[in-house]
């Protein structure tokens, strides 16, 4: 389903709660300390920043256009490449894969998208810990979702949404057999975390550690 609005539906409740808390704080401050002071203005400024950040967190970048390129795997998330290495993927493939890890800060867009066209062939939710997302163990020990996609040529990649120290909710409503359309919403992770992509070893990787990724636009790799 294509999205045309600017704020994700998951943000409605969070934004309303934020507004309610801010209103209560401002009301109490003015009831107990009616004379305006520098502390009041600092409180107002702080509340405004919190509200703007909350709204910004749930933004949908409707101005972006999906990169459409044959055999390309695009970035499923905004963020910075934190790992680019060959590793053992032992949940689904049970063999060596090229792992690209994208760390999302609280300032990034947190909607994740499908990195290429195909079909969801495997989906599993794993409860777990909430280690800092940069921790290598977070990929397997933290709460995470594993999604495997297969294209019409039979090529498979694995996408893993990983909750972090701050991110305490992974949102994903998929099941095996669902259609995957490149650039369409896969899910989201609230308040900062990580997305891992496991590619075939012969994939031509186009990114390196430290590169900034833009979901829907940046090409991660070209599949053989």
Higher confidence at residue 139 or residue 220? 220
Torsion over CA: 207, 208, 214, 220 (sign): positive
Q: Does 40 score more than 80 pLDDT?
A: yes
Q: Classify burial at 224, counting beta carbons within 10 Å of its beta carbon; exposed 0-12, middle 13-18, buried 19 or more.
A: exposed
Query: Other CB atoms closer than 10 Å to residue 31's CB: what's the count?
Result: 8
- Residue 108 neighbours by CB under 8 Å, 6+ apart: 77, 78, 79, 192
Question: How many whole angstroms from its chain centre is CA 81?
Answer: 13
Tokens of 13: 């409740």
Q: Does 166 score more than 70 pLDDT?
A: no
Tokens of 179: 């259609």
Catalytic hit among 138, 139, 193, 215: 193
Mean predicted confidence (pLDDT) in 99-107: 90
Tokens of 190: 């609230």
Mean predicted confidence (pLDDT) in 180-207: 91
Tens of pLDDT, residue by residue over 18-39, are 999 999 999 999 998 888 889 8
* Distance in angstroms (rounded) separating the CA atoms of residues 85 and 75: 16
* Distance in angstroms (rounded) separating the CA atoms of residues 183 and 31: 49
Residue 191: which pLDDT band, with cuts at 50, 70 and 90?
Answer: low
Tokens of 181: 């359309």
Beta pairing partners, 83:
101
Q: Which of 19-23, 106-110, 219-223 has the lowest mean pLDDT?
A: 106-110
* Active site (annotated) includes residue 105: no
Rounded CA Rg of the chain: 20
* Distance in angstroms (rounded) separating the CA atoms of residues 86 and 98: 4
Q: Which of 21-30, 87-96, 128-137 has the lowest mean pLDDT?
A: 128-137
pTM above 0.85, yes or no: no
* Distance in angstroms (rounded) separating the CA atoms of residues 130 and 138: 8
* Distance in angstroms (rounded) separating the CA atoms of residues 13 and 145: 23
């Amino acid at each position: 389903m294509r999205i045309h609005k600017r704020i994700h539906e998951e943000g409605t409740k969070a934004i309303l709660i934020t507004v309610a808390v801010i209103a209560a704080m401002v009301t109490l401050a003015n009831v107990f300390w009616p004379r305006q002071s520098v502390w009041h203005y600092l409180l107002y400024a702080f509340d405004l920043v919190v509200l703007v950040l909350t709204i910004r967190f749930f933004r949908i970048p409707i101005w972006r256009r999906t990169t459409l390129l044959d055999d390309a795997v695009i970035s499923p998330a905004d963020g910075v490449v934190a790992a680019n290495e060959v590793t053992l993927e032992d949940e689904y493939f049970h063999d060596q894969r090229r792992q690209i890890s994208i760390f999302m800060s609280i300032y990034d867009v947190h909607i994740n998208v499908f990195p290429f066209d195909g079909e969801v062939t495997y989906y599993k939710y794993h409860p777990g810990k909430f280690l800092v997302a940069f921790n290598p163990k977070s990929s397997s020990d933290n709460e995470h979702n594993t999604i495997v996609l297969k294209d019409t040529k039979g090529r498979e990649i694995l996408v893993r949404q990983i909750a972090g120290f701050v991110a305490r909710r992974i949102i994903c409503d998929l099941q095996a057999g669902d259609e995957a359309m490149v650039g369409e919403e896969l899910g989201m992770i609230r308040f900062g975390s990580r997305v891992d992509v496991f590619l075939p070893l012969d994939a031509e990787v186009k990114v390196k550690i430290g590169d900034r990724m833009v979901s829907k636009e940046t090409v991660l790799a070209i599949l053989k």
